[in-house]
Amino acid sequence: MPDSNWTARPWHRDWLKDRANALFDLFQHNAVNPKGGFHDLDAAGRPFGTIRHIHQTARMVHCYAIAVKLGRPGAATIVDHGMRYLWEGHRDTRYGGYCWSLDDEGFKDDSKQAYGHAFVLLAAADAAMIGHPLAKKLLADVTDVINIRFWDANYGAVSEEYARNWAKISDYRGQNSNMHLTEALMAAFEATHDAAYLDMAKSIARLIIGRHAKDLGYVVAEHFDEQWKIDRTYKGSDMFRPAGTTPGHWLEWSRLMAQLWVLDGRKEGWMIEAAEKLFRSAVSHGWDKTQGGFYYTLDFSNQPALTHKIWWPATEAIGAAAFLNALKPDRFYEDWYRKVWDFSALHFIDPATGGWFPELGEDLKPVDRFFTGKPDIYHALQACLIPLFPATGSLMKAVG
């Protein structure tokens, strides 16, 4: 009997569903903050802290909107809780837009970040696909904010960050916010069939991948100046903007480029070519051939910089390998799909909680350096679900 893909095997599919349900259970029962939004979870999966970040609120909406489509009891309540907090908490009724974080007293960090607005757009699009009553006005509002405040038609991408009153904070431009906006724009296109969203997604992809990543041999540069010239000297500021390059983002872009190719009618061959080359580049340069796992960052010579292993690049490798193998069947993708799941099952998945350890040290034991507790559900859940559904677009679309 031929060695079939894992994604075709009933036992493996059941195992993926079990891992997804463990994540749904963990966050559904522990993350809901009765004062609004969602708690962070500590290493044992217990709620802690009072600060709610916009991307975490929106990601919970995204994940539980998928759960609604899957038919998971209780998921609609989570979506409603998150949507109300986006509209009544994060939304700035004075200056417009959506603020980065809140605590029990109000805005904690009142800056307006493109990264955060990308996830609000994703949440609104997903909520629209399940008919949530707030979805249309949230989608219309955040779309206007992105178009008016962030979109730079001269370059076909978004600027990065502003103060609460929309005063410019810096001239920094980042691929990470634009990458997640590409994901959100595709979801908005699926929800509305408005081609303007898809055109914006293609514009960003052409700049970040078709121009810059291609020029670097399918290495994704992270940091840019106001004219979208690569800033190789950028020293890094936090976990969202580490210095150098981040192989996990090459993997994330790999899947997004394949998805964009499908949504655009498979018309532009460079998109799927880029998807395949990004994947191969990431596993070639980013995988630790001795210990296993993906290095968090590399320098511009593709040598390891931050060597700790972070959970989310592994999840993105799983999703990309499954998506590409469905579109362009190749034993190479199947082998990497199995290899990364083997590593993740042995080292990242916490059997005590069903969550994932966010970070491993040099000895592959959990450590707290860049991340603590149990990270948000978004990355790990998608790794469990993407392999279960056809490679026809986003999970929301594929679930049906």
Q: For 91-100, which contacts have Cβ atoms below 8 Å and span 24 or more sequence positions?
A: 91/141, 92/164, 94/164, 95/164, 95/165, 95/166, 96/145, 96/149, 96/166, 97/145, 97/149, 97/162, 97/166, 98/54, 98/142, 98/145, 99/54, 99/164, 100/53, 100/54
Are the beta carbons of 54 and 120 closer than 8 angstroms? yes
Average pLDDT over residues 104-129: 98
Confidence of residue 100 (pLDDT cuts 50, 70, 90): very high
Q: Is 249 one of the annotated active-site residues of the chain?
A: yes
The tens digit of pLDDT for each residue in 267-324 reads 999 999 999 999 999 999 999 999 999 999 999 999 999 999 999 999 999 999 999 9
The tens digit of pLDDT for each residue in 357-400 reads 999 998 999 998 888 899 889 999 999 999 999 999 999 999 98
DSSP-assigned beta bridge partners for residue 47: 41
Confidence of residue 203 (pLDDT cuts 50, 70, 90): very high
Among the options 81, 117, 223, 379, which is catalytic? 379
Domain map (residue ranges) of the chain: 6-399
Task: Give the fold, CATH level 3, of 6-399.
Answer: Glycosyltransferase (1.50.10)
A 10 A CB-CB count for 272 gives: 18
Q: Is 379 one of the annotated active-site residues of the chain?
A: yes
State the number of CA atoms in the 13 A half-sphere of 392 facing the CB: 9
What number of helices (H) and strands (E) belong to the chain? 14, 13
Place of tokens 């975490």: 56
**Per-residue pLDDT at 1:** 36
Average pLDDT over residues 104-124: 98
Q: What is the pTM of this model?
A: 0.98
Among the options 62, 81, 223, 249, which is catalytic? 249
Decide if pLDDT at 239 tops 80. Answer: no
**Per-residue pLDDT at 2:** 53
Cβ density class 193-205: b for 16+ within 10 Å, e for less: eeeebbebbbbbb
